[in-house]
Amino acid sequence: MKYIAVTGGVLSGLGKGIAASSIGRLLKSRGFKVTSIKIDPYLNVDAGTMNPYQHGEVFVLADGGEVDLDLGNYERFLDEALASDHNITTGKVYHTVISKEREGKYLGKTVQIIPHITDEIKRRIRKVARESGADITIIEVGGTVGDIESMPFLEALRQMHREEGGHVNFLFIHTTLVPMLGTVGEFKTKPTQHSVRELREIGITPDVILGRSEKPLPKAIKRKISHFCDVPERAVISAQDVDSIYEVPLNFERQGLTDYILERMEMNSREEDLAGWERFVKNLKSAKGEVEIAIVGKYTGLKDSYISHKEALAHCTAETKVNVKIRWLEAEDLEKEGDADEFLKGVHGVVIPGGFGNRGIEGKMMAIRYARENKIPFLGICLGFQLATIEFSRNVLGMDGANSTEFDENTPYPVIDLLPEQRGVKDMGGTMRLGEQKVIIQKGSKAYSLYKRTEISERHRHRYEVNPDFIDKIEKGGLKFTGKDVEGIRMEIGELDEHPYFVATQFHPEFKSRPMKPAPVYLGLVKAAIEYKKSL
């Protein structure tokens, strides 16, 4: 078993996740089976309860795991489905160790960071590597070297490096900042030097250094980093800014990173195939023209809150070869101004993403109504699906005050509600519908024309459902539920016949969109937006 650990220095947000994902993509292109692990040093057990403004999007895995957004990048780059165990947090580790101690499984020993916490970390890493059947496991350590929270994880990795046989089986890649300062744009290597020194003080010597910078690192700077940080010059890789994250693997490949890793770990390439990825990036960069899609959200101040939506639209750009420009709109701003035309005029499509709580819902429904009445292509996701149902009930069916009981327990028309078996459950987690579930699609529907089959599997993250008591009335009014769960109880897809493209899904198709396989409902939206623009 081979392992690659990706650490970060100086500051967070340097792009360790993209670097780890890119390295995984490159190794997969050489014929190896690769899997990824993200270590998050926070005390939360998972990302499910975290504020999107603080931590970005909560990515949902097939098994229902609510995890860090970096696992979304891993899945998109590797085109592999991961599981909850691939996200290791301090909360998970300590919860397990303390539970074992309470059960007496340590036989009265004093429970300590070393060896009990570090042993649990190593056990979890090895379990994922073993059960995945991967040739190489890539481990990204969140945060930076020197963070108190990261210390047990770095210590565990230091021990693994020795236990697994050194750099032949365990490689350390360190991502660090190489800033440009002054009017002449001079590269500064001191942050990298200090970061590597701190890493070495805890017993870890990097095998590769990824220098994050605005522009490519000159040879002289690579040589300087090589001398001061004791790595070969060819192992100093320039990780400069690029137009698209999907260019990063190609940038690393051009600098010989894949060959260096394989030589260092004494592995021979089984094949070499980046043609599909190169074609995808070429299509992305050569796209002509433009359509503008509005994303009307509740957390648009931090774009990472909607990163999977953003990437799904990028995948559509490559597929259609038409640039998709995103107009980011805050739902509360629509509410305050009260004029949807001012915010949405000129867009060629509208996306209403998911979310929880009643903040901004009236603004979202203003956008939905505007798209419906003006025949602008529309896609509602999760909460967007529910709000599309509420908006239709209010403004087409005349059900004044229609709402979700999540927002108004006393609504006269609870068109969105908990199902009977969910009501009265005190544990909120017990009412959540999470992970991949089957959806049955009605033949002859818009959804069927997009997916081209009657059964699909998509990921969910919601609590409330379309109330079965109102389904007949809503469908007779013109909003058809063309996708349902296997029991026919939960409504999964809604669409309007008298509209060029009005589709809403209770599930989250953005989580399964891939660079060369865009999510069908997003691709349908973009194609409809292209046609809508032509008609103007």
Q: Are 412 and 509 contained in the same domain?
A: yes
Q: Is 316 a catalytic residue?
A: no
The answer to whether residues 324 and 349 touch, using CB atoms and an 8 Å cutoff, is no
Helix (H, G, I), strand (E, B) or coil at 44: coil
Cα 189–Cα 192–Cα 195 angle in degrees, nearest 5: 150
Q: Are 187 and 39 contained in the same domain?
A: yes
Q: Are 386 and 520 contained in the same domain?
A: yes
- Say which CATH number the domain at 322 has: 3.40.50.880
Helix then strand count (H, E) for the chain reads 19, 23
Question: Nearest to residue 364, comparing CAs of 307, 308, 313, 294?
Answer: 294
Tokens read off for 148: 């108190």
Q: Is 510 a catalytic residue?
A: yes
Q: Are 275 and 303 contained in the same domain?
A: no
Q: What is the pLDDT of residue 426?
A: 53
The residue from 86, 161, 460, 508 that is catalytic is 508
Per-residue pLDDT of the chain (536 residues; tens, 9 = 90+): 999 999 998 888 889 999 999 999 999 999 999 999 999 998 888 888 887 777 789 999 999 999 999 999 999 999 999 999 999 999 999 999 999 999 999 998 999 999 999 999 999 999 999 999 999 999 999 989 988 999 999 999 999 999 999 889 999 999 999 999 876 678 999 999 999 999 999 999 999 999 999 999 999 999 999 999 999 999 999 999 999 999 999 999 999 999 999 999 999 988 888 999 999 999 999 999 999 999 999 988 888 899 999 999 999 999 999 999 999 999 999 998 888 999 999 999 999 999 888 899 999 999 999 999 999 999 999 999 999 999 999 999 999 999 999 999 999 999 999 987 666 655 544 568 999 999 999 999 999 999 999 999 999 999 999 999 999 999 999 999 999 999 999 999 999 988 999 999 999 999 999 999 999 999 999 999 999 999 98
Q: What is the pLDDT of residue 356?
A: 87
Dihedral sign for Cα atoms in the order 303, 58, 281, 171 = positive
Q: What is the pLDDT of residue 364?
A: 96
- Say which CATH number the domain at 65 has: 3.40.50.300
Q: SS3 helix, strand, coil % of the chain, rounded to 5?
A: 45, 20, 35
Q: What is the pLDDT of residue 416?
A: 97
Helix (H, G, I), strand (E, B) or coil at 124: helix
DSSP symbol at 517: B
Task: Determine the Cα–Cα distance for residues 18 and 245; give it in Å rounded to an integer.
Answer: 7
Q: Are 230 and 310 contained in the same domain?
A: no
Task: Determine the Cα–Cα distance for residues 51 and 58; give it in Å rounded to an integer.
Answer: 9
Task: Determine the Cα–Cα distance for residues 466 and 448; give it in Å rounded to an integer.
Answer: 21
Q: Are 465 and 320 contained in the same domain?
A: yes
The answer to whether residues 296 and 363 touch, using CB atoms and an 8 Å cutoff, is yes
The residue from 140, 155, 406, 510 that is catalytic is 510
Q: Give the per-residue SS3 of 214-276.
A: CCCCCHHHHHHHHHHHCCCHHHEEEEECCCCHHHHHHHHHHCCHHHHHHHHCCCCCCCCCCHH
Q: Are 320 and 273 contained in the same domain?
A: no
Dihedral sign for Cα atoms in the order 141, 137, 162, 249 = negative
The residue from 382, 406, 462, 495 that is catalytic is 382
Domain boundary among 279, 309, 330: 279
35 CB contacts (<8 Å, ≥6 apart)?
78, 80, 82, 86, 128, 129, 132, 134, 136, 137, 138
Task: Determine the Cα–Cα distance for residues 409 and 412; give it in Å rounded to an integer.
Answer: 9
- HSE-CB at 460 with a 13 A cutoff on CA atoms is 23
Q: Are 275 and 387 contained in the same domain?
A: no
Q: Are 303 and 414 contained in the same domain?
A: yes
Task: Determine the Cα–Cα distance for residues 533 and 191; give it in Å rounded to an integer.
Answer: 49
Task: Determine the Cα–Cα distance for residues 459 and 441; give it in Å rounded to an integer.
Answer: 15
Domain boundary among 279, 314, 349: 279
The answer to whether residues 529 and 293 touch, using CB atoms and an 8 Å cutoff, is yes
Q: Are 337 and 401 contained in the same domain?
A: yes
Backbone angles phi, psi at 488, to 5 degrees: 75, 15
Q: Are 406 and 466 contained in the same domain?
A: yes
Q: Are 243 and 368 contained in the same domain?
A: no
Number of structural domains, the chain?
A: 2
Domain boundary among 223, 244, 279: 279
Q: Is the omega angle on the peptide bond into residue 115 within 30 degrees of 0, that is, cis?
A: yes
Length of the chain: 536
**24, amino acid identity:** G
Dihedral sign for Cα atoms in the order 108, 114, 115, 120 = positive
The answer to whether residues 260 and 222 touch, using CB atoms and an 8 Å cutoff, is no
Range of the domain at 408: 287-535
Residue 188: burial class (beta carbons within 10 Å; 0-12, 13-18, 19+): middle
**415, amino acid identity:** V
Q: Is 229 a catalytic residue?
A: no
CA distances from 196 to 139, 177, 199, 201, 227 (A): 18, 11, 5, 9, 12
Task: Determine the Cα–Cα distance for residues 100 and 313; give it in Å rounded to an integer.
Answer: 45
Q: What is the pLDDT of residue 183?
A: 65
